[in-house]
Chain A
């Protein structure tokens, strides 16, 4: 099956710093990538939808200036948490949808655990 990787898998940073998380589709082209946030013992919360070559679409309540998303190629999307604060600590998961018409299944990355001190 299709594989999606995330890097890093775990990151600890100081408050006020920026952290970049990469999401790559390894064996397929992904026109659309999704970024989710998951709090402990809760479901996934969609943060934004990223289409290759265009600006990301953010869900209501998600600060686009804080969570910068770049989908520069058909295999790479990045999420940058700017000026991170302890409340940004969470598990971030990306998924990628293969290029093509109509519905295509999403494939999920293994997630990135962000801890902001």
Chain B
């Protein structure tokens, strides 16, 4: 079955520290992977995607994600967290019917 797992409901990080939001996937074939961010009462904003090429993908707002095929993971990372990074983060993968399959979301809280 095709699925995306975000094992952490919430991640707490001190401002200035590195952050990681985890995502693992299960899909047949080569995965197309995405990260989106959602601020309160707002729609989704695209952060980055992996289609092919380098396993390390750089995206908006200083975020990056590393595709690891052997571990079927696509963890989101940022070297130095900002308070303004506090939001809800969703990982998604394109399924066999070209529809997005969503993770449950991870709430990221950056404390000053």
Contact = CB atoms under 8 A, between A and B. Distances in A.
Interface of A: 1, 6, 34, 41-44, 46, 49, 91, 93, 95, 97, 103, 105-111, 113
Given A43-B90, A43-B103, A105-B49, A110 B98 contact: no
Contacts of A107: 46
Nearest to A32: B98
Interface residues of B, number: 20
A97 B100 CA distance: 11
Contacts of B94: 103
Contacts of B32: 103
Contacts, number: 45
Nearest to A91: B41
Contact of A93 (B43, B49, B98, B99): B43
B64 to A, nearest CB: 18
A46 B2 CA distance: 15
Nearest to B101: A46
B46 A93 contact: no
A103 B46 contact: no
A52 B2 CA distance: 27
